[in-house]
Amino acid sequence: MDQKIMDLARLVEQGRGLVVFSGAGMSTESGIPDYRSPGGIWERHRPVMYPEFKAHAWAREDYWRFYQEWFPGFGQAAPNAGHRALGRLHAAGLLRGVVTQNVDGLHQAGGVPSSAVVEVHGNVFDTACLNGCGHQEPTAEVLERFTRGDKDPACPGCGGVLKPTTISFGQNLDPTALERAAQLCASANPLIVVGSSLVVTPAAELPLAALAAGGALAILNRDPTPLDERAALLFRRPAGEALDALAGALLKN
Ligand SMILES: [Zn+2]
């Protein structure tokens, strides 16, 4: 067994609660590309800014057209060894929760219950009414209406504007999700950052909450991050394999 994985397992065993903060690198092994990378979907679609989306039916039509292309890949994706390892750790009482920048729902599919996952950038599968009437429905159903010819699908309850819960350019993060994420990170020891380059704010600042509260930080990412110097352990290896090894060390399976 890899000595660094053993060191990480010891941090988890001796700490007061493991929390994982994940980004795009967590899901690349599930075939979900980092959409900010070169060749990503934003090179074929003009980004729709949130104020435009709220104000104009044509912008909403552009956005739903983009979603028609973007959405199917998520339905086909399956959790990878890393997601499943976190599911096993949660089931064993060794993972307090996950804060994720990902919108793919794969942590839940991998076995971490929704109540223990904070999605700071929303989720592609959920659509909600922007009027705050409380209406929610599966994105797949709204897309079906769009595909059948409803170019500006509206809330069936109040007629308001419907939008997937994924955060758009120019849209603020949900303050409730952000507050839950900050609390979870502040309670973490250790906090493991997985597959995030920690450059997109404000989510990228969440690991600082763990450090400020005295929690240890471990970073598992392909590329350097601004917090590497503050990490107790640093891994440059695929997320799935490393988390699987960690679960193996902790669960002695
Ligand atoms: Zn509504």
Domain at 139, CATH number? 3.30.1600.10
Residues 60 and 137 in one domain: yes
Cβ–Cβ < 8 Å for 160, 154: yes
Please, what is the average pLDDT of the chain? 93
Ligand 1 centre distance from Cα of residue 108 (Å): 27
Ligand 1 centre distance from Cα of residue 162 (Å): 8
- Which of these, 192, 225, 189, 187, lies nearest to 4 by C-alpha position? 192
Asked if residue 203 has pLDDT above 80, the reply is no
- Listed residues 165, 191, 221: the one ending a domain: 165
Residues 203 and 247 in one domain: yes
Q: What is the domain range of residue 67?
A: 37-76+125-165
Given 83, 90, 121, 135, the catalytic residue: 121
Residues 144 and 210 in one domain: no
Q: Which residues contact 106 (CB under 8 A, 6 or more apart)?
A: 26, 27, 30, 32, 77, 78, 79, 80, 83
Is 135 assigned a catalytic role?
A: no
Confidence grade of residue 35 (pLDDT, cut at 50, 70, 90): low
Percent above pLDDT 70 for the chain: 95
Residues 130 and 18 in one domain: no
C-alpha to C-alpha distance for 64 and 153, rounded to whole angstroms? 9
For residue 137, CA distances in Å to 68, 155, 196 come to 16, 9, 29
Residue-level pLDDT at 235: 96
Q: Which residues surround ligand 1, an ion (CB under 5 A)?
A: 129, 131, 133, 135, 155, 157-158, 160
- Listed residues 144, 165, 186: the one ending a domain: 165
How many domains does the chain divide into? 2
C-alpha to C-alpha distance for 173 and 177, rounded to whole angstroms? 8
Residues 62 and 181 in one domain: no
Ligand 1 centre distance from Cα of residue 138 (Å): 14
C-alpha to C-alpha distance for 102 and 70, rounded to whole angstroms? 14
Half-sphere exposure in the Cβ direction for 183 (13 Å, CA): 9
Chain centre to alpha carbon of residue 134: 23
The pTM of this model reads 0.94
Residues 117 and 52 in one domain: no
Residues 182 and 253 in one domain: yes
